[in-house]
Amino acid sequence: MNITVIGCGRWGSFITWYLSRIGHTVALYGRAESARMRAFCETRTNGLVTLGPQVELTHDLSRALCSDAVVISINSQGLAALAAELRCAGLRDKLVILCMKGLEVGTGRRLSEIAKAGLDPSNRIAVWLGPGHVQEFCRGVPNCMVIDSEQEDAKRYLVDAFSSDLIRFYYGQDLLGNEVGAASKNVVGIAAGMLDGLGLSSLKGALMSRGTREIARLIRAMGGDELSAYGLCHLGDYEATVFSQYSHNRQYGESFVRGERFEALAEGCYTVQALMTLGTRYEVELPICAAVNAVLYQQADPRDSISALFERSLKNEFYL
């Protein structure tokens, strides 16, 4: 395939490296003013991946118009603007793969909904989700991920085209559940980091159990399959998000309660706001999300808010 990857952060650059590694013709797009893109143009590396000479580096978004597929890996809150830009540029009849996790602040829209509304209808949209860290993939540590789409043929084509010894892809069966599950696990990651920062890491088991049930209830209320919360998109991604030293969301939560600066993108900061919107809309109680939101945006005391999650009234274990 001839593929353009939009987004030169750690995931966009890894995807470029990975797709080139398995034999596709790949171009990496980044804006001219991007410091990350300038570094690639000067050295072809970001310290995590090194892009070979066969990979095209471009500042020209129209490169996507010449591709069979476009992979997008950017800040979730910038997707609507990018989709409008791509539509104006004339992007049509492409496979568009969203390798990003999040929900739109203010509306709660899923990323595939944003892309579908913003792009020309001739484009087919898929999502690439699941666990894994760039640092581990680059050391040759394999993992399993998910591709889902409303178009069955697109999903099957991409699973076949993108699978390798490094990443084994599974066919997603619930686009709504997979997207909500993938986005919300970042909020659980922030909560886990707060536990680390408070010296309460032993409570991560309870956090994971309750977090999965919380999101399963939301997915069901939204019309998805609640079992999706127990798959690779959410529970299956907890090891990488709740425990890993490479998890930006976990690191952000830990740094926040310690009063330390953390500059890297933590998508859960946006997602928690969107989840509160969805919780209200679908009348679903989201205690973990509410606690994280209160700490981040309402000046609530972290220890009181997070500890209170585990001091609620006694319940049957299976109805946490």
Q: Do 130 and 236 contact (CB within 8 A), yes or no?
A: yes
Q: Do 14 and 8 contact (CB within 8 A), yes or no?
A: no
What is the identity of the amino acid at 135?
Q
Is 288 among the domain residues?
Answer: yes
How far from 218 is each of 208, 211, 287, CA to CA, in Å? 16, 11, 12
Same domain, 192 and 72: no
Mention every residue, 6+ apart, whose C-beta is less than 8 A from residue 30: 7, 8, 12, 36, 37, 40, 57, 59
Same domain, 202 and 252: yes
Same domain, 150 and 215: no
Same domain, 126 and 209: no
Is 309 among the domain residues?
Answer: yes
* Residues taking part in catalysis: 185
Same domain, 140 and 255: no
What is the chain's pLDDT, residue by residue, as a tens digit (320 residues)? 999 999 999 999 999 999 999 999 999 999 999 999 999 999 999 999 999 999 999 999 999 999 999 999 999 999 999 999 999 999 999 999 999 999 999 999 999 999 999 999 999 999 999 999 999 999 999 999 999 999 999 999 999 999 999 999 999 999 999 999 999 999 999 999 999 999 999 999 999 999 999 999 999 999 999 999 999 999 999 999 999 999 999 999 999 999 999 988 899 999 999 999 999 999 999 999 999 999 999 999 999 998 888 876 545 544 45
Same domain, 151 and 237: no
Which residue, among 212, 261, 213, 263, has the nearest Cα to 241 in the 3D structure?
A: 212
* Last residue in a domain, options 143, 171, 199: 171
Same domain, 76 and 146: yes
What is the identity of the amino acid at 268?
G
The predicted structure's pLDDT at residue 122: 98
- Give the strand pairing for 143-149 and 95-98: unpaired
* Last residue in a domain, options 171, 193, 210: 171
Is 185 among the domain residues?
Answer: yes
Which domain range does residue 224 map to? 181-319
Same domain, 83 and 49: yes
Same domain, 152 and 9: yes
Same domain, 117 and 14: yes
Which residue, among 23, 24, 41, 20, has the nearest Cα to 8 in the 3D structure?
A: 41
CATH of the domain at 121: 3.40.50.720
Tokens of 227: 């079992």
CATH of the domain at 268: 1.10.1040.10
Is 98 among the domain residues?
Answer: yes
Same domain, 125 and 105: yes
Is 134 among the domain residues?
Answer: yes
* Last residue in a domain, options 121, 140, 171: 171
Same domain, 9 and 144: yes
| Neighbour count for residue 108 (Cβ, 10 Å) | 22
Is 176 among the domain residues?
Answer: no
User: What are the two backbone dihedrals, phi and then psi, of residue 93, each rounded to the nearest 5 degrees?
Assistant: 55, 40
pTM given for the model: 0.94
How far from 134 is each of 114, 127, 137, 295, 317, CA to CA, in Å? 26, 18, 5, 29, 35
Is 303 among the domain residues?
Answer: yes
- Number of domains present in the structure of the chain: 2
Is 118 among the domain residues?
Answer: yes
